[in-house]
C-alpha cells in the first residue's frame, strides 16, 4: 500500500495513466467523496454504469490490495477533513470575538509572508509574459476558487481582452468551451485542497493542445503541477470551515499590477473607454436599460441581422424610413420584414393579453392551429381587453421627453 500522503493527491498523480473508465471513477470520487465512502464496489459500479471488476481494478491500480483497503483509505481521508473542520472548536474555544478576529488576520498575514518567501520570482515573471503574449487566455477555478478566477478574468478583460472564464459544472461543456484552444493560447488553472478533478482534466486537455499552462496552487505536491509548465504557489490552509484565499488573491493582484506596468498604454486606453461610458450613463437616463447598456458597451462591434428576424409588431413606415436613412437596414430588408416576417417581436402589449395588439391575429392564428396550445390561452379574455395600448402610452411618453429636450436646447 502507498505511504501516508494526501489521498486525493495520490489519485491525482495517477490520473494521466488511468483508462477512460478509471478516470470516470476518479472524477466521481473527487466530486462526491462523501457519498462514495459508503459505497461497495458493486454499488459504485452500478452508479457509474461500469462493472464491479473495473472498480476493483481501479483500487489495485492505485496500489491497494483490494477495494476494502481502498475504501478504508478513503474513509480515513474523509475523517481527516472533518477533523480539520472541527479544529475551530479547539483552537478558538473560550476566545472573545476580538481575539478571533486578531487570530484569523494574523494567520492570513503569516500565509502572505510565507508565500513571499517561497514564490519563485522567475516563475512569476514567466507567468506574466505568457499571459501577455497569449492570443487567448482561458481561466478555470471551481468551487471556492471560482471567485479568484472571476477576479482575474475581470481585470484581464480590462487590459487585453480575449479572456474566457470557464463556467460550467459539466466536464463535456468545459471541453466545448476549450474546443479551439491552441499553442498560441494560455490556460490558467486555479485549485487548492480539496483539488478539483475538473480543473485538472481541463489542464490536461490544454496541455494536449500545446497551450501554455499556468497553475496557481498550494505546493509542489499538488496534482495541478502535472500538466503545468509554470507553477505559482500560495499558502491556503483551512483556518476553520472557510478556505483562506488571501495569499492566492495577493498573487493574482501582483500579476495584474505587473501586467499593467508592462502594458501601460493599453490599460490607459481601456480605462478611458470605461470612464467615457460611465460618464455617459451617469448623464443620460436609460429608458431601455438592458438594450441601451448593451448597445453602448458593444458600440462599433455590432452586426445587425436582417429585420425580418426581429420584426417589431408596432413599427411603422416612419420608423422604417429612419432605419433606412441611418443606414441600419435597406429599403428591401424593411419591405421583406413587413411582407415575410420570420420572428415577430411583440414589444409592449402581448396578443395573449389583448387581441387587438398589432399583428396579434397572426399569433392567435398559430395558437388556434395547435390543439395543445388552445387550452393554455383564453381568447375571449384577450378580446375583452380594450383602451390605449402600452405602445401608445409609451410613444406619448417618448414624444414628451423629446419635446422637453428640444425646448431645453432652444433655451440654451
The average pLDDT across 262-287 equals 70
- What is the pLDDT at residue 4? 39
User: Is 88 within 8 Å of 241 (Cβ atoms)?
Assistant: yes
Q: Is residue 343 over pLDDT 80?
A: yes
231 is written with which cell numbers? 507553477
Q: What is the pLDDT of residue 2?
A: 42
> Do residues 313 and 341 make contact, with C-beta atoms less than 8 angstroms apart?
no
Determine how many CB atoms are found less than 10 A away from the CB of residue 171: 17
| Cis peptide preceding 194, ω within 30 of 0 | yes
- What tens digit of pLDDT does each residue of 184-228 get? 999 998 988 777 888 888 888 888 888 999 999 888 878 888 888
Is the predicted pLDDT of residue 398 greater than 70, yes or no? no
Environment class of residue 169 by beta-carbon count within 10 Å: exposed (0-12), middle (13-18) or buried (19+)?
exposed
Q: Check if the beta carbon of residue 62 is closer than 8 Å to that of residue 10.
A: yes
Average pLDDT over residues 112-135: 87
- Mean pLDDT over the full length of the chain: 79
Name which of 66, 70, 65 is nearest 26 in CA terms: 70
pLDDT of the residue at 238: 53
Domain 107-262 has CATH 3.40.50.10490: yes
Contacts of 28 (CB under 8 A, 6+ apart): 36, 44, 47, 48
Amino acid 228: pLDDT: 86
pLDDT, residue 322, reads: 79
What is the rounded CA–CA span in Å between residue 205 and residue 227? 9
pLDDT of 352 > 90? The answer is no
Q: Mean of the pLDDT values across residues 353-359?
A: 79
**Residue 239 confidence (pLDDT):** 46
187 bridge partner residues: 138, 213
CB burial readout 320-336, b (16+ within 10 A) else e = beebeeeeebeeebbeb
Please, which pLDDT band fits residue 94 given cuts at 50, 70 and 90? low
Contact 58/25 with Cβ under 8 angstroms?
yes
The answer to whether residue 284 scores a pLDDT higher than 70 is no
Residue 108 CA, chain-centre distance (Å), reads 27
Give the model's pLDDT for residue 410: 56
SS (H, E, C) the chain: CCCCCCHHHHHHHHHHHCCHHHHHHHHHHHHCHHHHCCCCHHHHHHHHCCCHHHHHHHHHHCCCCCHHHHHHHHHHHHHHHHHHHHHHHHHCCCCCHHHHHHHHHHHHHHHHHHHHHHCCHHHHHHHHHHHHHCCCEEEEECHHHHHHHHHHHHHHHHHCCCEEECCCCCHHHHHHHCCCCCCCCEEEEECCCCCCHHHHHHHHHHHHCCCEEEEEECCCCCHHHHHCCEEEECCCCECCCCECCHHHHHHHHHHHHHHHHHCHHHHHHHHHHHHHHHHHHHHCCCCCHHHHHHHHHCCCCCCCCCHHHHEECCCCHHHHHHHHHCCCCCHHHHHHHHHCCCCEECCCCCCCCCCCCCCHHHHHHHHHCCHHHHCCCCHHHHHCCCCCCHHHHHHHHHHHHHHHHHHHHHHC
Give the tens place of pLDDT for each residue, 137-181. Answer: 999 888 888 888 888 888 888 777 788 888 876 777 788 888 888
pLDDT digits (tens, 9 = 90+) for 310-339: 887 777 777 778 778 877 788 888 888 888
pLDDT at residue 388 above 70? no
Q: How far is 132 from 150, CA to CA, in rounded Å? A: 18
At residue 88, the pLDDT reads 52
CATH for 7-91? Answer: 1.10.10.10
CA 157 – CA 38 distance, rounded (Å): 44
368 pLDDT exceeds 70?
yes
Mean pLDDT to the nearest integer, 1-18: 68
Cell 379574455 found at:
381
Residues 19-31 have pLDDT tens digits of 888 888 988 888 7
In this predicted structure, the answer to whether residue 85 has a pLDDT above a threshold of 50 is no
pLDDT number for residue 287: 56
Cβ-Cβ contacts under 8 Å for 131 (sequence gap 6 or more): 137, 156, 160, 186, 188, 214, 255, 259
Domain boundaries, the chain: 7-91, 107-262, 267-297, 311-411
Amino acid at each position: 500500500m502507498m505511504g501516508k500522503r494526501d489521498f486525493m493527491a495520490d489519485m491525482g498523480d495517477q490520473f494521466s495513466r488511468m483508462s477512460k473508465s478509471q478516470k470516470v471513477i476518479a472524477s466521481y470520487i473527487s466530486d462526491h467523496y462523501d457519498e462514495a465512502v459508503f459505497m461497495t464496489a458493486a454499488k459504485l459500479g452500478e452508479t457509474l454504469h461500469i462493472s464491479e471488476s473495473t472498480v476493483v481494478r481501479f483500487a489495485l491500480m492505485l496500489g491497494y490490495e483490494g477495494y476494502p483497503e481502498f475504501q478504508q483509505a478513503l474513509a480515513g481521508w474523509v475523517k481527516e477533513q472533518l477533523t480539520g473542520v472541527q479544529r475551530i472548536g479547539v483552537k478558538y474555544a473560550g476566545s472573545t470575538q476580538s481575539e478571533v478576529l486578531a487570530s484569523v488576520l494574523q494567520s492570513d498575514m503569516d500565509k502572505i509572508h510565507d508565500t513571499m518567501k517561497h514564490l519563485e520570482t522567475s516563475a512569476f515573471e514567466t507567468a506574466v509574459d505568457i499571459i501577455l503574449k497569449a492570443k487567448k487566455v482561458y481561466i478555470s477555478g471551481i468551487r471556492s476558487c471560482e471567485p479568484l478566477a472571476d477576479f482575474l478574468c475581470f481585470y484581464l478583460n480590462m487590459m487585453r481582452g480575449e479572456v474566457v472564464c470557464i463556467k460550467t459544472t459539466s466536464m463535456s461543456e468545459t471541453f466545448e468551451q476549450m474546443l479551439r484552444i491552441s499553442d498560441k493560447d494560455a490556460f490558467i488553472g486555479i485549485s487548492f485542497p480539496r483539488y478539483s478533478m475538473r480543473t485538472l482534466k481541463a489542464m490536461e486537455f490544454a496541455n494536449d493542445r500545446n497551450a501554455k499552462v499556468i497553475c496557481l496552487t498550494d505546493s509542489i505536491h499538488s496534482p495541478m503541477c502535472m500538466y503545468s509548465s509554470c507553477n505559482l504557489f500560495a499558502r491556503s490552509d483551512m483556518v476553520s470551515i472557510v478556505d483562506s484565499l488571501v495569499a492566492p488573491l495577493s498573487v493574482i493582484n501582483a500579476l495584474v499590477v505587473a501586467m499593467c506596468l508592462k502594458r501601460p498604454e493599453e490599460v490607459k486606453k481601456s480605462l478611458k473607454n470605461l470612464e467615457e461610458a460611465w460618464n455617459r450613463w451617469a448623464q443620460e437616463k436609460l429608458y431601455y436599460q438592458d438594450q441601451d447598456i448593451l448597445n453602448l458597451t458593444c458600440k462599433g462591434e455590432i452586426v445587425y441581422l436582417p429585420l425580418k428576424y426581429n420584426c417589431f409588431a408596432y413599427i411603422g413606415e416612419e420608423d422604417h424610413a429612419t432605419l433606412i436613412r441611418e443606414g441600419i437596414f435597406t429599403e428591401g430588408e424593411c419591405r421583406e420584414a413587413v411582407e415575410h416576417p420570420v420572428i415577430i417581436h411583440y414589444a409592449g402589449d402581448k396578443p395573449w393579453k389583448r387581441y387587438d395588439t398589432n399583428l396579434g391575429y397572426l399569433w392567435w392564428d398559430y395558437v388556434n392551429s395547435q390543439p395543445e396550445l388552445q387550452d393554455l390561452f383564453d381568447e375571449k379574455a384577450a378580446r375583452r381587453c380594450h383602451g390605449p395600448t402600452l405602445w401608445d402610452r409609451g410613444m406619448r411618453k417618448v414624444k414628451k421627453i423629446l419635446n422637453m429636450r428640444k425646448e431645453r436646447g432652444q433655451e440654451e
